Amino acid sequence: MARRTLKQAYQEQPPSNLESFVFGAGESNLSSEETERAAAFGSEIIVPTARIHKTFSFTANGKPLRYYYDQDELKEWGETDLKPNGVRTALWVRPVLDQPGEYELVAGLRRLTACELAGITEAPVKVFDWSDEEAYAAAFDENDRRRDFSRLEEVDNILSILCKKLVIDQDELISLLYRMDNEAKGKTTQNVLGNPEAQAIEEFFIARGQLTWKSFVATRLPLLKKPPEILDAIRSSQIDYTKAIEIAKVKNPQRRAELLNQAVQRSLSLTEVKAAIKQTSQPHETAPQANSADLKKRFKSLLRQADKTDAWEDSKRSQKLEKLLQQLEKLLAD
């Protein structure tokens, strides 16, 4: 049986605006027999957590849509809530091809991880036969509804969805967004806003309903200009987004790298990260600088002492004085 579409999977409930944008609106063309077979998917069953795989083969890099979860927080949630009360909302999964009884997680990573950390061996799931594109869109929509993405998660996932929808690469998409923005601000007359790609971008942001494409360009795309090591650390789940963005404020590359490594290795809290940054930004204490009048006065006094001293007669002391005089002559000549 062909993989089932998100629109078909949701035919018992109205799709969200975002789902309609991605897959289109309209009635299902399934026959009654196909509808009956499809009903087997989307029903809730209980499966061992060991049979739910976090492979994320439907994403470009095999990584989850969310980059970071606090493991201690998830373990506590699993122990104090999920273990005594059960997992109240089913995970979304799809069958692993050619492996009966095995499932790939689509949405619900936070719940599944909490179950694993708390030793919960079974969880409720809803099984959908989604293609890669459908699984990605479903995961994005479900995660977007449940809890706000970090800004970098939001940027990366929105760009990924739009690239798939428009069949262009990320660099082309970002260039298009900036050209749209320039035209909207009256900086150019390229007439980009009237083309189908620009219209599709506008439709996506209207369907999602959280921010406009203009706000996305102004407040989200600049994140991609942060230091590469900061972005890599966030995307590889080494550090929470909020902490990493604080560290990105450190201008000195070497000190920034040191702080990042320290925050990751020692699992520093946000408060500790801010304290370390504050300490870094404080200027080192230096001796008070004398003004020019004082320097001239001291120099004249030194000349008077030099005229009276017998240090010139001592060979060792005269050699040192010679070197100092050479340094002074060079300094005054510069």
Residue 282's pLDDT is: 62
Tell me: the pLDDT tens digits for 111-170? 999 999 999 999 999 999 999 999 999 999 888 887 778 899 999 999 999 999 999 999
What tokens appear for 323 in the block?
Answer: 């070197």
What tokens appear for 294 in the block?
Answer: 């004082």
Q: What distance in Å separates the CA atoms of residue 41 and residue 93, rounded to the nearest whole number?
A: 10
Q: Is 105 a residue whose pLDDT tops 50?
A: yes
6 CB burial (10 A radius; 0-12, 13-18, 19+): buried
What's the CATH code, domain 6-146?
3.90.1530.30
Residue 326's pLDDT is: 75
Q: In which band, very low, low, confident or very high, does the pLDDT at 19 lie, cut at 50, 70 and 90?
A: low
What tokens appear for 243 in the block?
Answer: 């902490």
Can you tell me which residue has the tokens 């506590």?
76
Q: In which band, very low, low, confident or very high, does the pLDDT at 290 lie, cut at 50, 70 and 90?
A: low
Contact yes or no for 42/11 (Cβ under 8 A):
no
| This model's pTM is above 0.85 | no
Residue 77's pLDDT is: 96
The pLDDT of 233-259, averaged and rounded, is 94
What tokens appear for 245 in the block?
Answer: 């963005």
Q: Is 25 a residue whose pLDDT tops 50?
A: no
The domain segmentation of the chain, as residue ranges, is: 6-146, 149-224, 226-281
Q: In which band, very low, low, confident or very high, does the pLDDT at 38 lie, cut at 50, 70 and 90?
A: very low
Tell me: the pLDDT tens digits for 171-213? 999 999 999 999 988 887 778 888 999 999 999 999 988 889 9
Residue 289's pLDDT is: 54
Q: What distance in Å separates the CA atoms of residue 135 and residue 140, rounded to the nearest whole number?
A: 9
DSSP 42: T
Q: Is 272 a residue whose pLDDT tops 90?
A: yes
Listed range (31-40, 124-133, 256-265, 291-300) with the worst mean pLDDT: 31-40
Q: What distance in Å separates the CA atoms of residue 56 and residue 66, rounded to the nearest whole number?
A: 11
Task: Compute the mean pLDDT over every residue in the chain, rounded to the nearest whole number.
Answer: 83
